[in-house]
Amino acid sequence: MRVSAGRDQPSRAVTLRDVARLAEVSTATASKALNGRPDVNPGTRARVLAAAERLSFSPNAMARGLSAGRSGTVGLLTSDLEGRFSLPILMGAEDAFGADRTSLFLCDARGDAIREQHHLRALLSRQVDGLIVVGARPDSRRSLGPNLPVPVVYAYSPSQDAADLSIVCDNVAGGRLAVDHLLACGRTRIAHITGDPGYGASHDRARGARDRLAEAGLELVGDGVWFGSWTESWGRRATRLLLEQTRELDAVFAGSDQIARGVLDVLQEEGLRVPEDVQVIGFDNWEVIAGESRPALSTVDMQLEALGRRAAQSLTAAIAGNPGAGTVELGCRVVQRDSTTPRGNDRDLPPRPG
């Protein structure tokens, strides 16, 4: 039975030597047997395995790492844990590394460069095999530098250095997708209310929206893009302003679910029915917002968990000697709820010419 330092009498941990002794072999043989090396007599292996089992042997990862020269750990350096975008990315990464028997060190720099350096040092000193830098906003960030002893992957916020590998969300494609969906719902008079113009993502999403509209020979209604802030109250205010300017609209693409929620409220206060009169699509697929609004909000999902997984896989590849470079943009998908209503589903019909 394993003993406890927590409450019972503390006792030496079980080591490979204990296992070897019990199985009556050398530590070298015990090591080989446990690590599935081929040059071990099946009978011997069985004895070793049984001994390890009986003693509940668990190899000391530090010792193993020390001799192997790799720790089997990676550092997750986030800029802002509070931001709700980091979380799904962390989860995706955690998931992907789990399969890999790689453990994660979590560090939160709280948006402070000093603290980031501090954590970076700590992580390197812990001999992490690689780093994932998770940004808080979709805009680019300073590189950690080209001279690190381990590979780095930037997730969500791309690195400014093109020689680094970054995995980000394709906001232009996201914007396209949103408008595409509204067009598929039969809407043509589409307005776009979005967040902080200081964010690259605002402009990217707007560009995707405009591009898709242009392809359909259309333009944004309401005299261009309404930039503001990523809040519900801006969504409300912008909608009021928009309606003062024109009521000739049949859909709104909101740059975030929070904004969309404000849009929904004011549209309905103003007597417009959603989705009958005006359809609304958001961005983020933030369940508690999108799922609980009235009506439930259709939205664009950035698939951040997949982004985290992808970042983990890329890092694993880089650690294995296959580094990447440049910025990889991952796609979004539409999650349809009740604020948009696609026209009759064409999937079963033969493709139309053109």
Partner DNA sequence: TTGTAAGCGTTATCAT
Partner DNA sequence: ATGATAACGCTTACAA
Looking at residue 111, the DSSP 8-state letter turns out to be T
Minimum distance, C-beta of residue 52 to DNA, in the bound complex (Å): 10
The residues near 26 (Cβ < 8 Å, ≥ 6 apart) are 20
Instruction: Name 132's bridge partners.
Output: 76, 153
> What is the C-alpha to C-alpha distance for residues 306 and 99, in angstroms, rounded to an integer?
15
Report the partner that residue 140 touches, choosing among its own copies, DNA, none (CB closer than 5 to 8 A by kind).
none
Binding part of the chain for its own copies, among 23-31, 40-48, 56-64, 202-210 by CB under 8 A, reads 56-64
Which residues within the stretch 35-94 sit at the binding site for DNA (CB under 7 A)? 35, 38-41, 43-45, 57, 59-60, 63-64, 66-69
Given the complex with its own copies, which of 25 and 152 has the nearer CB atom? 152
Backbone angles phi, psi at 168, to 5 degrees: -135, 175
How far is residue 244 from each of residues 53, 132, 238, 247, measured CA to CA in Å?
A: 75, 47, 10, 7
Question: Looking at beta carbons only, is 62 or 162 nearer to DNA?
Answer: 62
Shortest Å, Cβ 18 to DNA: 8
* Backbone dihedral angles phi then psi of residue 227, each to the nearest 5 degrees: -85, 155
Residue 288 binds which entry of its own copies, DNA, none, with Cβ cut-offs from 5 to 8 Å by kind? its own copies
Phi-psi sector, 322: left (phi>0), alpha (psi -120 to 50), beta: beta
Query: Is 284 an interacting residue with respect to its own copies (CB under 8 A)?
Result: no
> x/- binding map, residues 240-269, to its own copies, per CB under 8 A?
------------------x-----------
Each residue 14-33 as x (binds DNA by CB under 7 A) or -, in order, gives -xxx------xxxxxx-xx-
Report the nearest approach of DNA to the CB of residue 36 (Å). 10
d(CA 193, CA 265): 14
